[in-house]
Amino acid sequence: MDNTLFIHASPHGKHALGYRLAEKVLAAERLKNHSMRLIERDLLAAPLSPLTHRYAAALVSHNIGERPDAALIESEQLISELERTDRLLIAMPMHNFSVPAALKLWIDHVVRINRTFIASAEGKQGLLQDRPTTVLVSAGGMLQGDNPQPNFLTPYLTLILNTLGIQDIHFVYLQGLAFGEPAIANAWRHAQAALIEAGVLSHEVP
Ligand SMILES: Cc1cc2nc3c(=O)[nH]c(=O)nc-3n(C[C@H](O)[C@H](O)[C@H](O)COP(=O)(O)O)c2cc1C
């Protein structure tokens, strides 16, 4: 497999700075892996269905290996995207100190007992294979430095991905975007430096 799943969840769509940085990451990935195939999921342009009573009931009655209930079809499609890919790239804004609602809905469709994780006496164990995962987080305020705001996004998303079985996670922040052009340029540079340090980008790009 040489497939990347790219999930993005910004109301600004392709104009979001996080989306533009993700494009640079994907371009660098294509240079390294000419055979790379991309599955792209835009959670704002193609919103997922809200959770229904049937979904909640099917979620807890599903057992490993069973044919899934019709209410789980969309969930199955999203899980299959994860199963068919061996790299994950997520770009999203921070909304109210945590993940945006569109990404939370994706989480509620893919984190499924007896499908993507099992519960045991030792805790939850993920059933998906680990894969290199880059998470690009855009924020109006600061997340690092002298006076960072509360950040529930990073620990929450880390726990969610760990629950699925994904441990190899790298967060990169585009922060301070509400403070005007110089701050945005600074955030762009810092995020690229973090990606270069992580070996995701090889050099700075405009
Ligand atoms: C509903 C909403 C909630 C937000 N909450 C936060 C927040 O808690 N912390 C923060 O730093 N920025 C917050 N922002 C600002 C966005 O994170 C910021 O505008 C970011 O640059 C948007 O990134 P994007 O261009 O990728 O959508 C919020 C924006 C919206 C629309």
Give the CATH number of the domain where residue 87 resides. 3.40.50.360
Counting ligand 1 atoms within 8 A of each CB, the residue from 7, 96, 136 with the most, and so the one to mutate, is 96
The atom number, within ligand 1, closest to the CA of 91 reads 26
Half-sphere exposure of 194 (CA within 13 A, CB side): 18
- Per-residue DSSP letter, 148: P
Measured between alpha carbons, how far is 70 from 187 in angstroms, rounded to an integer? Answer: 44
AA identity, residue 130: D
Please check whether residue 153 lies inside any domain of the structure. yes
Please check whether residue 205 lies inside any domain of the structure. no
Please check whether residue 83 lies inside any domain of the structure. yes
Q: What is the pLDDT along the chain (206 residues), one digit of tens a residue?
A: 789 999 999 999 999 999 999 999 999 999 988 999 999 999 999 999 999 999 999 988 888 888 888 999 999 999 999 999 999 999 999 999 999 999 999 999 999 999 999 999 989 999 999 999 999 999 999 999 888 999 999 999 999 999 999 999 999 999 999 999 999 999 999 999 999 999 999 888 87
Please check whether residue 16 lies inside any domain of the structure. yes
Number of domains, the chain: 1
Measured between alpha carbons, how far is 78 from 80 in angstroms, rounded to an integer? Answer: 5
- Convert the pLDDT of each residue in 109-129 to its tens digit: 999 999 999 999 989 999 999
* Residue 71 belongs to domain spanning: 3-197
Regarding the beta carbon of 99 and ligand 1, being less than 6 Å apart is answered no
Please check whether residue 181 lies inside any domain of the structure. yes
Please check whether residue 98 lies inside any domain of the structure. yes
Please check whether residue 143 lies inside any domain of the structure. yes
pLDDT, position 204: 81
